[in-house]
Amino acid sequence: MVNLIGTYECKVDTKGRLMVPSALKKQLMPMLQEGFVIKRAVFQSCLELYPMEEWNKLMQRMNKLNRFKKKNNDFIRRFTAGVKTVEVDGNGRLLIPKDLVGFAGIKKEIVLSSAINIVEIWDKDKYEEAIEAASDDFADLAEEVMGIDDFDVDGIS
């Protein structure tokens, strides 16, 4: 299981390439050979970068959906819209496809934010707006999501 850590600011060139920060690249090192999948996020206008192993786990779950139910078919189509495989090249760069650059509104400065087992790729201004918007109700959200009384089953409190 992948547990990525950190938030990194970097720049994207005119071709949509970014230099993966060395601290993040070090964490991704075991996954560089297999490559990655990049896609549109479901809830935000950012991108999600999945190590191939994590993507395959997610696809196993989705593969269990009954494709003869229209809502499942519609979900799969929307979820996989714009999905691309990408690799980190020998120079440590990752190319973000142009259509995904447009979806996320990426200009020049970006933020790579670890989200447990994936990396979110944000336009820097949009990232800061999203963090600011969520800060007001984060305490309530944390209590609702993590404040379950019997949550300490795994020793986490």
Q: How far is CA 132 from CA 25, 34, 104, 145, in A?
A: 27, 35, 18, 19
The domains of the chain, with CATH numbers, are 7-147 (3.40.1550.20)
pLDDT (mean) for 90-112: 95
pLDDT (mean) for 32-60: 95
pLDDT tens for each residue of 108-155: 999 999 999 999 999 999 999 998 887 777 778 778 888 876 555 555
pLDDT tens for each residue of 50-80: 999 999 999 999 999 999 999 999 999 999 9
Provide the percentage of residues in the chain whose pLDDT is more than 70.
93
**Furthest-apart CA pair in the chain: how many Å?**
50
Predicted pLDDT of residue 2: 77
Show Cβ contacts of residue 27 under 8 Å, excluding neighbours closer than 6 positions. 4, 5, 6
E-assigned strands of the chain? 7-11, 17-19, 36-40, 47-51, 84-86, 93-95, 109-115, 118-123
pLDDT (mean) for 3-10: 94
